[in-house]
């Protein structure tokens, strides 16, 4: 059965001003890239052609259109192995044009946070990720409910204010 949820590329393509992404999990389902990193494989950052993916190009093209893309991650410390890998590969996100910040979970206690990761596009539309316990995406939900969008955008901004820029966050 085909999904009625627009693809990420479609949502980003329709975006005019801003796209924000909040990640609150300490691990997600393993990927081949993560498993290679676990085996000791490292990226040759100087050889961009070896690691530049369609996602990176989509982000770069969107930023070139004037859309500001920000990602905030709330992480437990000491960080999980998965977060250690995410920190390593965030070089690609930043190179593509994303602004990325990290918030240690202990600094998030006083924040009213949603229970799920999400993307918000132009502060009018949400793509909410629903995960299984082992970190696999079960479903993406799209909503333009103004109260829910406002809650999520407000939560993101409160995280962003406290979070540490990627270049300064040491693990």
CA-only gyration radius of the chain, Å: 16
pLDDT of residue 4: 76
Once rounded to an integer, what is the mean pLDDT over residues 80-84?
Answer: 97
Q: Does domain 13-39+51-168 have CATH number 3.30.870?
A: yes
Which helix (DSSP H) or strand (DSSP E) does residue 101 occupy?
Answer: strand 99-104
Scanning 26-142, the segments in alpha helix (DSSP H) are 32-38, 48-51, 54-64, 81-96
Q: Where are the domains of the chain?
A: 13-39+51-168
pLDDT of residue 154: 98
Could you give the CA distance from residue 98 to residue 58 in angstroms, rounded to a whole number? 11
Q: Read off the pLDDT band of 1 (50, 70, 90).
A: very low
Would the pLDDT of 10 be above 50? yes
Q: Read off the pLDDT band of 3 (50, 70, 90).
A: low
pTM confidence score: 0.96
Would the pLDDT of 77 be above 90? yes
**147 CB neighbour count, 10 Å cutoff:** 7
CB 34 within 8 A of CB 85: yes
CB 73 within 8 A of CB 103: yes
Could you give the CA distance from residue 45 to residue 164 in angstroms, rounded to a whole number? 23
């Amino acid at each position: 059965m085909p999904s009625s949820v627009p693809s990420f590329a479609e949502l980003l393509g329709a975006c005019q001003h801003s796209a924000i992404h909040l990640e609150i999990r300490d691990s997600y389902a393993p990927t081949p890239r993560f498993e290679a990193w676990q085996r000791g494989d490292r990226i040759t950052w100087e050889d961009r052609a070896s690691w530049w993916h369609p996602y990176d190009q989509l982000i770069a093209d969107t930023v070139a259109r004037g859309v500001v893309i920000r990602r905030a991650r709330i992480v437990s410390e000491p960080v999980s192995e998965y977060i250690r890998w995410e920190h390593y590969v965030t070089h690609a996100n930043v190179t593509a044009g994303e602004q990325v910040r990290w918030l240690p979970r202990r600094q998030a206690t006083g924040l009213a946070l949603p229970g799920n990761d999400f993307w918000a596009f132009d502060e009018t539309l949400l793509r909410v990720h629903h995960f299984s316990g082992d970190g696999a995406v079960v479903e993406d939900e799209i909503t333009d409910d103004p109260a829910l969008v406002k809650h999520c955008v407000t939560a993101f901004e409160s995280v962003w204010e406290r979070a540490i820029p990627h270049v300064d966050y040491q693990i």
